[in-house]
Amino acid sequence: MTAWYAGLLAGSLLLSGAFIYLGLENYLQRNLRTNLQEQAVSVADEVLEHANTETQSKIPSLLKQRFASQLNGRFIRLLAADGTVIYISAIPADGSFDPATVPISQNRSKQPYSDDEHLPDYRRVLIAGVPIVTAQGKPLFVEVGALYKPIEGVLQGLLLNIALLMPLMIVVAVVGGYLVMRSALRPVDEITMLAERISSRNLGERLPVIKTGDELERLSTSLNRMIARLESAFQHINRFSADVSHELRTPLTILRGELEAAGRGRRLDADLLEIIGSALEEIERLVRISDQLLAISRLDAGEARIDRAVVDLGELAVSTAEQMQLLAEEKPIEMRYRISKLVRVEGDPSRLKQVVVNLLDNAVKYTAPGGWVQVTVEAEGSNAILDIADNGVGIPTEALPHIFERFYRADKARSRDSGGTGLGLSIVHAICTAHGGKITVFSAEGQGTRFHVELPLFYDDSAFNKTEKRHLKLAGNIIERRQPSITG
Ligand code: ADP
C-alpha cells in the first residue's frame, strides 16, 4: 500500500508539476508577446507621426533618440515591404545579443503578427510586428523583439524547485504514510497472531476487540462470534461423544455378563465356546474404547474432575516404569533412566501416571526386541520435562501431525494387532493440556521416536520465599549439570 501510495503521489506531483510548468510558460510568453506588441504599436505611432512631417531619412535617428533608453534586452527594427532594413537598434545596453543577427522573417502580414526566430547561436527571439502605411502610401513594418532567455530562466528555476521538492515530498509522504499505515495495521497483526494460536483446543480464548468503531472492530467482533459458534459446536461434539460412550457402557456390561453366563455352566459345543470367547474379547475392546473416549471427551470439555496434588515426576515415572518392566523384559527391551531430583508438578497423580503408562506402552510396543527405551525427567526453566525416547520403528513424517488425533494410527494393521485403539496419545494430549502443559513429538522413520512433555514446575509458595525458590531452581540445574544421568 505504501508503494502504491508513493507511486500515486509521484504521478500526481509530476502531473501537477507539468501543469504548473506549462501554465507558467504559456502565461509568460503571452505576457511578453502582448508587451512587445504594445511597444511595437507605440513605435509605429511614432514612425507614422514623423513619416508625415519629417523626411524619411530622419526616422532612424528619431527612433534611436526616442526609444534607446527603453531597449533593455530588446530591439526595434523598421522594415520596408521587401524586407530591407530601414532602421535597426544598436546592441542593447546589457549587450546580450546583436540585433543585426536576428533573421528577417518572411511571415510578415497585413495584420499585427508575432514571430519566433533563432539567433545563429540558437537562442530564441520573440518578435511582435505591426504593419503600417505612410501618408505617401508606402507600406512599412515595425518589429519589436526580445530574447526568450529570461522566460527560460524563470522556467528553469521552477523546474529546479520541482526537481528538488518532489523527491523530498515523496520521501516525507512515504515515510509518514508507512508509519501511519503501520500503526493502523498493528491491531490487525495482533489479531492475526492471536487468531493463529486459536485451535480446537483453546476455543475459549477470544481475539482482542479494538474499539475503533470501524471495520477493524467489526471484524474482530465477527471473528469472536465465529469462534464462539465453533466453540459451542465443538462442545456439542464432545458432549455427544461423551454421551455416546456413557450410553454404550450399560448395554456392553449387560452383554458381557450375559455372554459370560451363557458360556458358563452349560456343556457347549467347542466352536460355540470359541465364538463366545472371541465375542467377549471384542466387547472388552469396545468397553476400553468407550471408557477412553469418555475420558478424552470430558478432559477436552473441561468437565473432568482433576485432583490436585504435588507429584514428584521423577518418582512417578520410575515407579510406573518399574511396574511395566515385565513388558519390556518379555521382548526384551532395555530400559534406561535419567531422572533429576525434586522435579515436582501439581496435578492428578493417576492421570499423570496414565501419561507415563501410555507413552511407555507405545515405546515398548513400537520398538523391536534388543532395542532401548529411555525415560528422562528434568527441570528446564519453569518447566518439568518428561521425555520418553525409543529407537523403534519411528513414525512416518506425514503421520506426525495426526498422531494426537482420536483413532489415528500410523500403521493401522500393526496397531490393531497389538491391541491399540488409536486413543492412547489423544488421552495423553488431553491430560497434558488439562494440566497446563504440552506434548511434542520428534520422530524419524526406522530410527526412533521421542515424546517430550512439558508441565509447569511446582513451587510451594507457603514454604519458600522467592530467594529460596530461585535457589531451588538453581539447585535443580546444578544437579542436572553435575549429574547428568542417574541410571536406575
Ligand atoms: P495406539 O493405541 O494405536 O498405539 P496411540 O494413540 O497410542 O494409539 O498412538 C497412535 C499412533 O502413533 C500409533 O498407532 C503408532 O502408529 C504411533 N506411535 C505412537 N507411539 C509410537 C512410538 N513410540 N513409536 C512409533 N510409533 C508410535
Q: What's the 486 CA to ligand 1 centre distance in angstroms?
A: 28
Min mean pLDDT across 3-17, 141-155, 468-482 is at: 468-482
- What pLDDT band is residue 280 in, cutting at 50, 70 and 90? very high
Residue 467 has pLDDT above 60, yes or no: no
* Consecutive H or E run containing 205: none
Q: Is the minimum distance from the CB of 191 to ligand 1 under 6 angstroms?
A: no
Residue of higher predicted confidence among 351 and 52: 351
Instruction: State the pTM of this model.
Output: 0.59
At which residue does the C-alpha cell 511571415 appear? 107
Class of 215-301 per CATH? Answer: mainly alpha
The number of angstroms, rounded, from the C-alpha of 361 to the middle of its chain's C-alpha atoms is 43
**Rg, C-alpha atoms of the chain:** 50
Please classify residue 387 by burial: count the beta carbons closer than 10 Å to its beta carbon, then call 0-12 exposed, 13-18 middle and 19+ buried.
buried
Those residues with Cβ within 8 angstroms of residue 17's Cβ, 6 or more apart along the chain or in another chain: 162, 166
Q: Is the minimum distance from the CB of 362 to ligand 1 under 6 angstroms?
A: yes
Query: Quick one: pLDDT at residue 418?
Result: 64
Q: Is the minimum distance from the CB of 395 to ligand 1 under 6 angstroms?
A: yes
- How crowded is residue 139: how many other Cβ atoms within 10 Å of its Cβ? 14
Class of 309-482 per CATH? Answer: alpha beta
Q: Is the minimum distance from the CB of 390 to ligand 1 under 6 angstroms?
A: yes
Residue of higher predicted confidence among 464 and 45: 45
Residue of higher predicted confidence among 308 and 55: 308
Ligand 1 atom nearest residue 367's Cα: 24
Residue 432 has pLDDT above 80, yes or no: yes
CA-closest candidate to residue 377, choices 218, 485, 241, 478: 485
All cell numbers assigned to 278: 472371541
Torsion of CA 120, 124, 130, 136, to 10 degrees: -10
| Strand, helix or coil for residue 22 | helix
Q: Is the minimum distance from the CB of 367 to ligand 1 under 6 angstroms?
A: no
**Is residue 363 within 8 Å of 425, Cβ to Cβ?**
no
pLDDT digits (tens, 9 = 90+) for 338-395: 999 999 999 999 999 999 999 999 999 999 999 999 999 999 999 999 999 999 999 9
- What pLDDT band is residue 54 in, cutting at 50, 70 and 90? low
Average pLDDT over residues 45-65: 74
Q: Which amino acid is at 415?
A: S
pLDDT digits (tens, 9 = 90+) for 391-416: 999 999 999 999 998 888 887 666 56
pLDDT digits (tens, 9 = 90+) for 157-186: 999 999 999 889 989 988 998 898 888 888
**What is each CA distance from 20 to 124, 161, 169, 317, in whole angstroms?**
22, 12, 17, 83
Q: Please tell me the chain's helix, strand, coil percentages from 3-state DSSP, rounded to the nearest 5.
A: 55, 15, 25
* Consecutive H or E run containing 71: none
Q: What is the rounded CA–CA span in Å between residue 114 and residue 123?
A: 17
Buried b (16+ CB within 10 A) or exposed e, 447-482: ebbbbebbbebbbeeeeeeeeeeeebbeebeebbee
- How crowded is residue 149: how many other Cβ atoms within 10 Å of its Cβ? 15
Residue whose Cα lies nearest atom 25 of ligand 1: it is 394
Q: What's the 17 CA to ligand 1 centre distance in angstroms?
A: 72
Q: Give me the residue spans of the domains in the chain.
A: 2-154, 215-301, 309-482
- What pLDDT band is residue 139 in, cutting at 50, 70 and 90? confident
Residue whose Cα lies nearest atom 14 of ligand 1: it is 409
Class of 2-154 per CATH? Answer: alpha beta
Q: What's the 441 CA to ligand 1 centre distance in angstroms?
A: 11
Those residues with Cβ within 8 angstroms of residue 96's Cβ, 6 or more apart along the chain or in another chain: 73, 147, 149
Ligand 1 atom nearest residue 412's Cα: 14
Q: Is the minimum distance from the CB of 79 to ligand 1 under 6 angstroms?
A: no
Query: Quick one: pLDDT at residue 484?
Result: 29
All cell numbers assigned to 213: 468503531
pLDDT digits (tens, 9 = 90+) for 209-248: 878 788 888 988 999 999 999 999 988 888 888 888 889 9
Q: What is the rounded CA–CA span in Å between residue 9 and residue 20?
A: 16
CA-closest candidate to residue 43, choices 164, 141, 167: 141
Q: What's the 420 CA to ligand 1 centre distance in angstroms?
A: 8
Query: Quick one: pLDDT at residue 304?
Result: 78
Residue 70 has pLDDT above 70, yes or no: no
